[in-house]
Amino acid sequence: MAAIVAVRYLLASGAFAAATRLRHPGLYRGLDAQIRREIAWSLASAAIYGVPAGIIAWGWANRGWTLIYSDLATWPLWYWPLSVLLYLAAHDTWFYWTHRLMHRPRWFRLAHAVHHASRPPTAWAAMAFHPIEALTGAIVIPLLVFFIPIHVTALAVVLTVMTVMGVTNHMGWEIWPAFMWRGPLGAGLITASHHQRHHVEYRCNYGLYFRFWDRVCGTDRGVGEFAWAGSAGGRRGSGAAAPAGGSARLHAETVD
């Protein structure tokens, strides 16, 4: 399972990095050392993600653990898309609050600074986590399969959405049509324009898929712009500029 997670990461990040080279040549120029670090941390995270995933897969196949089902008739057909939304909403909730926790000074210095060391983040940064942070992400889906029934194909959709959004939110430009992030749909969904603002300002835009918790908790500062779009060189995203004050660890948030 660790190998599967690693290959999934390499294929997804590699594909979107290649798309970046085609769409915005030179966007990642000068970031070779950073990208190598991102890949190294991400492969370490893949090994951590693979452990609970492997245990759950074995238990489901051999011991009947979990509420994963393979027969579509087990639940009404309308439940299939609902289960996907339930998993995404639950995962988003978990991510928002653990992400807020990771921005408290102690946890930021200990773990989350690894992820924010990518400035600007690239398509390879989606899983570039310290092992402590990787563990918080690795357990959420394996825990959910014990509480929320889901068809195996619906689970595959959840994992695909998680992978694609994790990569595209970090790659420094918008791959989605403007209506998805400028229009009414974008008011509820997170894309690169929303998440890049987190990597610049640190104390906002903590969500993963949806803007619900950011809006409820007053941490949504809306979408941002990519600095390269207004620069003569047209090279890097807004994450290229470090936040005022220098070191990333100075921008950890204390959550009340």
Q: What's residue 229's pLDDT?
A: 57
Q: Is the pLDDT of residue 255 over 90?
A: no
Q: How far from the centroid of its chain's Cα atoms is residue 234's Cα?
A: 25
- Of 16 and 186, the structure prediction assigns the larger pLDDT to 16
- Could you tell me the two tokens for 74? 């087990």
d(CA 27, CA 172): 8
Q: Averaged over 245-253, what is the pLDDT?
A: 44
pLDDT per residue as tens digits for the range 104-142: 999 999 999 999 999 899 999 999 999 999 999 999 999
Among 106, 86, 85, 88, which residue's Cα sits nearest to residue 96?
Answer: 88
